[in-house]
Chain A
């Protein structure tokens, strides 16, 4: 049976699964994260990205659009990650039965907090093939169905990386845990104005810290850093998204 971060049948068999759905979800999350921390040698990297170009581009993009067609910064981040994975195939894989299993399609998981506690992380099918507008539709649909309990079991597996954003809650830096058999997770902090030096002048810029936790059995910090660099470069050239 599929659940919060994968499969309920991964819940350790020390006790029967709780009857209460919220407790079952907590047990499933606990089991997945315990396995993650027990088995996966995580390494962590962070990159502060100047979102000035992205926010300006987005403001212009949305200015003439009705609310139903507006794009959120999250869509830019998800698309940047999907395109970044095209250039970092070592991070588009699963780790199963002691082996790396490279994946051809790019399915990015999206961590969605549920009302009343718990979270799910369904995948966005073939994320790299979706335009920004298509991504907004897909993300809105997933969030809506996740919070109404309408996700399909098939949507809960297949992602190679999950994006978890805590930016709406004022978090600067996310230090996430990988959901097995995925091989990486990307955290997104709050978009906030900070002083930056631009052409010799200290100016306020909107910045965000993106953080990567990746599986050292599958990739090294060098590959992870290259991936983060690709993502940051894409975010700083939004017209290419």
Chain B
């Protein structure tokens, strides 16, 4: 899976929560701030990534996922 494909999947999972706003999110923008994501939302994204891509993200690593770019890097390293 390529980086662009991972970003597209992440964007899709975020889109399930916030709709079209996920399409406009820049890869270096803060996901939580830009999309007004709270901890309950973020857990749902983590759940979706686990179900979709098989990557299990421990809580202590949430801080490593502030942007789409960082999130994609994290996922690619564990696929």
Q: Which residues of A are in contact with B by a Cβ distance under 8 Å?
A: 59, 62-63, 66-68, 70, 72-74, 113, 115, 139-140, 143-144, 147, 168
Q: Which of A59, A63, A168 contacts B38 (CB 8 A)?
A: A168
State the Cβ distance, A214 to closest chain B Cβ, in Å. Answer: 26
Q: Are A63's CB and B47's CB within 8 A?
A: no
Q: List 18 A-B contacts (CB under 8 A).
A: A59-B59, A59-B60, A67-B43, A67-B47, A67-B49, A67-B56, A67-B57, A68-B50, A70-B59, A73-B39, A74-B39, A113-B36, A115-B19, A139-B40, A140-B43, A168-B32, A168-B38, A168-B39
Question: With contacts A66-B50, A67-B50, A115-B18 known, is A72 near B43, CB below 8 A?
Answer: yes
The total of Cβ contacts below 8 Å across the A-B interface reads: 39
Give, as a whole number of angstroms, the nearest-CB distance from B68 to chain A.
Answer: 19
B44 contacts the other chain (CB 8 A): yes
Q: Which residues of A contact B49 (CB under 8 A)?
A: 67
Residues of A close to B57: CB separation below 8 A: 67
Could you tell me which B residues sit within 8 Å of A by CB distance? 17-19, 32, 36, 38-40, 43-44, 46-47, 49-51, 56-60
Determine if A72 and B56 form an interchain contact, defined as CB atoms under 8 angstroms apart.
no
Q: Look across to chain A and name the residue whose beta carbon is closest to the beta carbon of B38.
A: A168
A62–B58 CA distance with the chains assembled, in angstroms:
8
Majority secondary structure of chain A interface residues (helix, strand, loop or mixed): helix
Assembled-state Cα–Cα distance A62/B62 (Å): 13
Residues of A within 8 A of B50 (CB): 66-68
